[in-house]
Chains A and B, each alone.
Chain A
Amino acid sequence: MLLSEERQILAAELAMGLLEGPDETRAERLRREDRAFDDAVWWWEETLSGAISQIPAASAPPQALAGIQTALFGKEVKTAQGKLKWKPIVGGIVGVKAVLLSAYLLSRALNTETYVVETRYGEATVTWNTRAGTLQVKSSGDTTLHLWKQTADGFNYLGAAGARITAAIAAGDVIILSADGPLAKVPEPVGRATLTDE
């Protein structure tokens, strides 16, 4: 694909990190909209990254992957069963097994499943009323969190924290918490919970 000289220079400048401010914004937008321009930027990225990649690997710190997972998904919570997975608990209380079990049984009696999710914005509590088919999220932080349902080909927006959300949801669905609202094409997850109905 032929590009004008101006576009070729712009592609090289974007790949090299030479653009700033409005020029960079314009080039990034062009990259999303123009496949030929995107290809030209990629040509530079692939060529230059190939040049710096042919070096011996170095041992990454052993705890790094766990840190990445925490940054992306929040910390996992030990459950009444002692397994490291999200489980229904009530009111954000994480404590002694007996307390958890009691809370869990109460929660079940009220047809609700409650999930505590640690996010970078603080702790969030997601409550699923299995009989009414509603979801509600309460966040301890100042940032408004939004709920998204993960689907096979992306994400469906469900609603914002505080609202009682009626949605087609079922056990096994993955609910994403994000600071991104409905205008976002792809939310950046800050926490997630897999709905279980046990």
Chain B
Amino acid sequence: MIDQVSHEISRMATGERAALDRVYRMTSGKVFAILLRILRDRADAEDALQNVYVKAWRGAPRFDPSRSGEAWIATIARNVAIDHLRSARRHVPDSDEMDQIADPSQTSSDQWQMRKDLLHCLETLPAEQARAVVQVYLQGLSYQEVADILGSPLNTVRTWLRRSLLKLRSCLGGDDVTE
């Protein structure tokens, strides 16, 4: 079943401008919250907000309406925020990355379960590796930047981060892999 946001994104793909208004009204509150969380700066978040919906409008023809429209918009928001961080060559304070993984007390939806699972699976990784995974996602760190922070060789960091991502996917019930 296609959710309402996905339906409206499909309408955007046909050039229907009113659909952009509806998508904005349905999602901008959450999108702005994500941008504020990642960027920690209201002015930057306001700039990024415009970019998110410009990208959504332009990307709408490639959107698969069988997928979650909210997740699609949230992904664009995360990517736009990370681009802002990288272009500003700055990183937000790293004291509470884990707090940025949403608080499960806020909801009882399926995504609550997904979030709890994600934290559980992160906890199965060595602490340093779990922290690196979260920093990569929420701060846009590169392999090289993680290596620099940890003082470890680049290839070593690349190898264990890749292994961590595979473990995470397996723990979260993603598809198996072939040889």
In chain A, positions 118-174 with a C-beta closer than 8 Å to chain B are 150, 152-154, 174
For the complex, is B174 an interface residue (Cβ under 8 Å from A)?
A: yes
A81 within 8 A of B: no
Q: Per-residue 0/1 for B10-34: is the Cβ within 8 Å of any A Cβ (1 yes, 0 no)?
A: 0000110100110010001111111
Q: Is B46 an interface residue (CB 8 A)?
A: yes
Q: Are A43 and B50 in contact (CB under 8 A)?
A: no
Q: How far is the CA of A58 from the CA of B48 in the complex (A)?
A: 14
A residues less than 8 Å from B138 (CB atoms): 52
* A52 and B101 form a contact (CB under 8 A): yes
Within 8 Å CB of B61, what residues of A? 154, 186
Query: Binding site of B, secondary structure by majority: helix, strand, loop or mixed?
Result: helix
- B29 and A60 within 8 A (CB): yes
Q: Kindly provide the distance from the CB of B104 to the nearest chain A CB, expressed in whole angstroms.
A: 7
Contacts of A40 in B (CB 8 A): 174-175
A68-B20, A73-B17 in contact; A56/B106 too (CB < 8 A)? yes
Q: Do A5 and B179 form a contact, CB below 8 Å, given A45-B71, A65-B24?
A: yes
Shortest beta-carbon distance, B9 to chain A, in Å? 14
Give the residues in chain A near B133, CB-CB below 8 Å. 16
Report the nearest A residue to B161, measured CB to CB: A18
B91 within 8 A of A: no
Is A22's beta carbon under 8 Å from chain B? no
Q: B49 an interface residue at 8 Å Cβ cutoff?
A: yes
CB-based contact A54/B103 at 8 Å: yes
Interface residues of B, Cβ cutoff 8 Å to A: 14-15, 17, 20-21, 24, 28-34, 36-38, 46, 49-50, 53-54, 57-58, 61-62, 64, 67-68, 70-72, 74-75, 77-79, 82, 100-104, 106-107, 109, 111-112, 114-115, 118, 133, 136-138, 140, 142-143, 161-162, 165-166, 169, 172, 174-179
**Chain A residues with a Cβ under 8 A of chain B:** 1-5, 8-9, 12-13, 16-18, 20, 40, 42-61, 64-65, 67-69, 71-73, 150, 152-154, 174, 176, 186, 188-189
Q: 8 nearest interchain CB pairs?
A: A57-B29, A54-B102, A49-B74, A58-B33, A12-B165, A60-B32, A50-B111, A45-B75
